[in-house]
Amino acid sequence: MDEKFRNLIEDLHKKYEELMSMPPLTVDTVPSDCPTGGIYLFTENGVHLYVGRTKRRIKERLKNHISTADDCPFAWHLAREETGNTEASYKTEGSRRHLLAQPNFKRAYEGAKNRIRQMKVRYVGVSDPLKQTLLEIYVAVVSKAKFNDFDTH
């Protein structure tokens, strides 16, 4: 194995264990002095749902998942699942704008953000973008996070 790559992956499991040993919080209870840059994991009722990563302060990124914006990706996954609109579309019908104009979907999307606010979240600081990327994949695979498929859209 290439030595540079080996150095990138050697601490993956250690960081995963650090993440999983963290007492879970909620988006609203993450302290302001949390790390800048890292991986986070949303869990609901013991089921790991979504792994994300950020180069910003983790608390800021987590707040983005429940913001008033119409582009909160994890909330989109949850709302799509709830409403059966599971396929992304690049046509007018089925687009984000179109879905948000549907009262049923809009309710599901806003409900998803409220649901995320109640979920447990753990995080671990990682500043190197390559290590972050690899750790995001590692955590998603090992935790069986439901909404991380790494498919292109």
Whether 149 is covered by a domain: the verdict is: no
**Per-residue pLDDT reduced to its tens digit, 12-23:** 999 999 999 999
Q: Is 56 among the domain residues?
A: yes
Question: Does residue 18 belong to any structural domain of this protein?
Answer: yes
Number of domains in the chain: 1
**Is the model more confident about 153 or about 71?**
71
Residue found by looking up tokens 């996954």 in the block: 77
Query: Bigger pLDDT: 3 or 73?
Result: 3
Model confidence at 119, pLDDT cuts 50, 70, 90, reads very high
Q: Could you tell me if residue 88 is inside a domain? A: yes
- Confidence check: pLDDT of 123 > 60: yes
In a domain, 23, yes or no: yes
pLDDT given for residue 69 in this prediction: 78
| Terminal CA-CA length for the chain | 31
Does the residue 153 lie in any domain? no
Q: Does residue 11 have a pLDDT over 80?
A: yes
Residues of the domain holding 104: 3-143
138 falls within a domain: yes
- Say if pTM beats, i.e. exceeds, 0.85: yes
Q: What is the mean pLDDT of residues 27-48?
A: 97
Which residue reads 């599901």 in tokens?
A: 108
What value does the mean pLDDT of the chain take? Answer: 93
**What is the predicted pLDDT for the residue at 153?**
57
Separation in Å, CA 21 to CA 17, 18, 78: 6, 5, 26
Answer yes or no: is 148 within a domain: no
Average pLDDT over residues 91-111: 89
pLDDT confidence tier of residue 26, bands split at 50, 70 and 90: very high
Q: Can you tell me the distance from the alpha carbon of 93 to that of 115, in angstroms, rounded to the nearest whole number? A: 26
